């Protein structure tokens, strides 16, 4: 018999509801598991967390604190300021240093009795705002089979959240491997990126106003280029792209024909500089178009990325972005990109550079 069936007769009145919650919360030793379930049945605003989920939330908060160089006192001060702006009306959650300490106690194998047993949605909203990540990431998605999907046009201000989503996983990873229908921003020149985004995202059929989409991608490009183009970066960055897609974009074909030849030629110089710089650990993999490893399903995607076996993120032609930490997404995507790597056209950097220079010659000779 389910918990809800057992408790159903108890939810007739507000008085009984409050009494049952109070008794269960104080009397049941398994408050970290049972109380959140009961609370959700009664409409509590608390996020229903089992201990593993609380632990992941606490670990994610601590990880971001370290990345931003914040201690508990500093985080509490920032949360206090953020709460005023986020909750102008009603009761403002108080994320004091003591409250944060109790949340972070869940990082331990055996948390103290004073450790937080629930974290409210309001508290997560404040923490996500201050730590510049999403609530979904703070909660953790490793056990969630349903991916998170963001509508970029509805939330164009989530650039920092999107970038940090990558970065938090890349900091502990060995490789970020990405298949895409256009070269990733970190390989490209800034003038080319702006021209590409205007040509690609500025003419989306059925969208009355594409400016937020163009600006979102320009901002993502700036943030990601700064993060990736660091000689001390610990992880390898690999971009897989089909030959026809690569040439269509970098040689100015179709919708990209408006990009000037000067920008196109200079952009290929930048790509050559990037792939030949060993300290950057960036690999451009040009794939054979006749690639049996690429399923038809990828036709609906702009890109699919996997950071080790930790995390997968993908973009749709609609501009929506999905991501997951669950193995049911991460592992198949990782295996797919592994298979696609076997269909590379060039064995090493020198062959790739020779190919890039041949494209430059075609541009100069007008053989585009």
As a whole number of angstroms, the distance between CA 118 and CA 238 comes to 40
> 334 has which bridge partners?
none
**CATH number for region 148-364:** 3.30.870
Q: 210-261: per-residue pLDDT in tens?
A: 888 899 999 999 999 999 999 889 999 999 999 999 999 999 999 999 999 9
As a whole number of angstroms, the distance between CA 169 and CA 129 comes to 19
For 273, residues 6+ apart whose C-beta sits below 8 A from its C-beta are none
Q: 174-196: per-residue pLDDT in tens?
A: 999 999 999 999 999 999 999 99
- The closest of 162, 152, 166 to 320, measured between CA atoms, is 152
Can you give the residue ranges of every domain in the chain? 3-139, 148-364
* Share above pLDDT 70 across residues of the chain, in percent, rounded to a whole number: 84
Residue 166: C-alpha distances to residues 92, 220, 284, 302 (Å): 31, 11, 19, 17
As a whole number of angstroms, the distance between CA 175 and CA 283 comes to 11
Q: 105-128: per-residue pLDDT in tens?
A: 999 888 888 898 888 888 998 998
- The closest of 147, 140, 133 to 301, measured between CA atoms, is 147
Helix/strand/coil (H/E/C) assignment for every residue in 95-155: CCHHHHHHHHHHHCCCCCCCCCCCEEHHHHHHHHHHHCCCHHHHHCCCCCCCCEEECCCCC
pLDDT at 111: 86
| pTM (whole model) above 0.85 | no
SS3 90: coil
Asked whether 323 and 277 are in contact (CB, 8 A), the reply is no
pLDDT of 23 higher than 60: no
């Amino acid at each position: 018999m389910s918990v809800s069936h057992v408790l159903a007769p108890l939810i007739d009145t507000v008085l009984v509801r409050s009494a049952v919650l109070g008794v269960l919360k104080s009397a049941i030793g398994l408050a970290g598991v049972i109380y959140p379930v009961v609370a959700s049945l009664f409409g509590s605003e608390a996020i229903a967390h089992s201990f593993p989920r609380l632990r992941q939330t606490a670990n994610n908060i601590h990880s971001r604190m370290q990345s931003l160089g914040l201690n508990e006192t500093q985080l509490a001060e920032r949360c206090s300021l953020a709460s005023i702006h986020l909750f102008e009306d009603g009761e403002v959650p108080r994320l004091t240093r003591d409250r944060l300490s109790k949340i972070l106690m869940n990082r331990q194998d055996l948390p103290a009795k004073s450790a937080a047993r629930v974290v409210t949605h309001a508290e997560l909203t404040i923490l996500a705002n201050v730590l510049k990540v999403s609530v979904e990431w703070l909660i953790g998605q490793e056990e969630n089979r349903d991916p998170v999907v963001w509508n970029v046009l509805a939330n164009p201000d989530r650039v920092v959240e999107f970038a940090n989503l990558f970065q938090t996983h890349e900091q502990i990873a060995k490789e970020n491997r990405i298949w895409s229908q256009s070269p990733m921003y970190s390989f490209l020149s800034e003038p080319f990126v702006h021209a590409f985004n205007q040509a690609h995202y500025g003419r989306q059929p059925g969208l009355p106003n594409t400016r937020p989409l163009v600006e979102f991608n320009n901002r993502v490009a700036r943030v990601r280029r700064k993060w990736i183009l660091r000689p001390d970066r610990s992880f390898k960055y690999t971009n897989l792209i089909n030959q026809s897609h690569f040439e269509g974009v970098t040689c100015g074909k179709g919708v990209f024909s408006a990009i000037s030849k000067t920008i196109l030629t200079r952009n290929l110089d930048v790509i050559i500089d990037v792939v030949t710089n060993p300290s950057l650990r960036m690999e451009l993999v040009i794939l054979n178009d006749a690639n049996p490893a690429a399923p038809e399903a990828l036709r609906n995607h702009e890109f699919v990325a996997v950071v080790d076996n930790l995390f997968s993120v993908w973009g749709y032609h609609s501009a929506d972005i999905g991501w997951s930490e669950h193995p049911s997404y991460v592992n198949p995507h990782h295996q797919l990109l592994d298979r696609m790597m076997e269909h590379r056209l060039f064995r090493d950097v020198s062959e790739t550079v020779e190919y890039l220079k041949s494209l430059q010659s075609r541009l100069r000779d007008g053989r585009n």
